[in-house]
Amino acid sequence: WAREPSALKCALIPSCSLRYLLPWTGSSLACRSTAAPLGRRRAMAWASPLERVSLEELLGRHRHAVESLRAELGADLAKAGRTSSTDDVWLLRYVLSFQAGTVSAAAAARQAIQWRQENTPLVEAARRRAPPPEFTEEELNAIELFFTAAFCGTSQFGDPLFVSRLSCYNLAALMDAVSEEQMERWIGYVNECVWQYCEAATRRQGVFVKQITIQDAASVSMSQDRRFLRALGRSSKTNEWLRPQLVGKTYVFNAPSWMKLAHQLAGTVMSRKSMEKIAAHPARVDAAMGPQRLCPFAEQLLGGGEALPKFLGGDREDDEVFPPAPRPASAAAAARRAPGGEPPALARLPRPPGPPEESAREAVLAPDAVAGASPASASGEEAAAVS
């Protein structure tokens, strides 16, 4: 957790361990804070998951850079049309993520505009939460069976929580059924779904809402399928220019001793910015821990253990999305998914909230239908609805 402020290092650690970690105890064993300098933190969207700078303040601090970027992109923005996809908040994402200057930010933004024009079917499928185009039922079935990762509701701030149970992946069976290119496109589709939610929730909340990934590495094998890693790495690099400021933090729980070496190897295929946001949890977390032992940081971020499955110390029952062991390759022959339905991995990712005035109008017309639309109140039970 070398890059984390010390208050974050207690996430989900049993309360009996807090005296060793919390900086306000006064203990000589308390971890040294490594938070960014105050000036830099004020220029960041997140100083930590619990400390966020408002959009209003960020736009004020970076107004000249945003104006410069808008001028540089004049013709491109005119062609794209004036939408929320090209407003000042969208430009701010590039200003914050490409601090080398306007030229690099503009190049990334142009690439994103072009991608969205060329990939309208995938963007629309994500909006409807329909399976992405050009995927066969066999490929979708393999992804559901062998890629045990899914959204599990949101944080108290509305951040979508993406949970991966790494030891239950069957990457060999997955990548034998799905090509590298298709796997990369699937990950991109999931990223587009969460991007659309985070974009809308950010504007509604007035602060950046980002994806938080939790990876359970208990009993995970050191041998990983390179085809999958390459697809994951390419999608992570695409996110840098297509979806800046999407990834908030990745927490790895129950990391085996060899994970440090794996982290170094992953750095050869993953984007640098993604790697910098990964933090390894120092304590064991499992079903025996129980949600009653969540630390203050986890309580503030999650509001309790309702969003977490039991294998991560939460109180949500594990379901078919997270099997206790990898499914054998032969499972694909017997399993059949409902054609055209929303992918199970997205079932607990809330739908993008509408503007406040729109939601208020809908609440009058159909209060039950929109009761769970606000990301601030999302607990994971609501909504028709990653690493």
Residue 17 reports pLDDT greater than 90: no
Q: Measure Cα distances from 22 to 1, 47, 214, 284, 296 in Å.
A: 14, 18, 21, 18, 10
Is residue 183 within 8 Å of 172, Cβ to Cβ? no
Higher pLDDT, 70 or 362: 70
In a domain, 251, yes or no: yes
User: Is 228 in the same domain as 200?
Assistant: yes
User: Is 166 in the same domain as 256?
Assistant: yes
Question: Across-strand partners of 151?
Answer: 162
In a domain, 387, yes or no: no
What average pLDDT does range 323-327 have in this prediction?
A: 93
Least confidently predicted of 41-45, 74-78, 90-94, 369-373 = 369-373
pTM for the structure as a whole: 0.79
User: Is 49 in the same domain as 107?
Assistant: yes
Measured distance CA(176)–CA(185) in Å, rounded = 16
Amino acid at 279: A
User: Is 183 in the same domain as 79?
Assistant: no
Q: Which among 118, 145, 160 is the end of a domain?
A: 118
Measured distance CA(172)–CA(226) in Å, rounded = 10
Measured distance CA(335)–CA(337) in Å, rounded = 7
User: Is 99 in the same domain as 172?
Assistant: no
User: Is 69 in the same domain as 149?
Assistant: no
Residue 336 reports pLDDT greater than 80: no
In a domain, 127, yes or no: no
What average pLDDT does range 167-185 have in this prediction?
A: 97
User: Is 184 in the same domain as 319?
Assistant: yes
Q: How many domains does the chain have?
A: 2
Measured distance CA(11)–CA(8) in Å, rounded = 6
CATH number at residue 238: 3.40.525.10
Question: Across-strand partners of 278?
Answer: 250
In a domain, 18, yes or no: no
Quote the Cα angle for 295-296-298, to 5°.
70
For 72-82, how does the pLDDT look when each residue is reduced to its tens digit (9 = 90+)?
Answer: 999 999 888 76
Q: pLDDT tier at 378 (50, 70, 90 boundaries)? A: very low
User: Is 191 in the same domain as 44?
Assistant: no
User: DSSP E strands: which ranges in 217-293?
Assistant: 247-253, 278-280
Measured distance CA(270)–CA(231) in Å, rounded = 10
Angle between helices 180-205 and 88-97 (to 10 degrees): 120
Q: Which two tokens stand for residue 365?
A: 């017309």
Q: pLDDT tier at 292 (50, 70, 90 boundaries)? A: low
User: Is 154 in the same domain as 92?
Assistant: no
In a domain, 386, yes or no: no
Is residue 228 within 8 Å of 221, Cβ to Cβ? no
pLDDT at 24: 21
In a domain, 377, yes or no: no
User: Is 48 in the same domain as 91?
Assistant: yes
In a domain, 385, yes or no: no
User: Is 56 in the same domain as 203?
Assistant: no
What average pLDDT does range 35-61 have in this prediction?
A: 78
User: Is 74 in the same domain as 202?
Assistant: no
Per the structure, the complete domain to which residue 55 belongs is given by: 36-118
Q: Which among 57, 90, 118 is the end of a domain?
A: 118
Q: Which residues contact 77 (CB under 8 A, 6 or more apart)?
A: 70, 86, 113
In a domain, 94, yes or no: yes
pLDDT at 311: 87
Q: Which among 72, 90, 118 is the end of a domain?
A: 118
Is residue 308 within 8 Å of 151, Cβ to Cβ? no
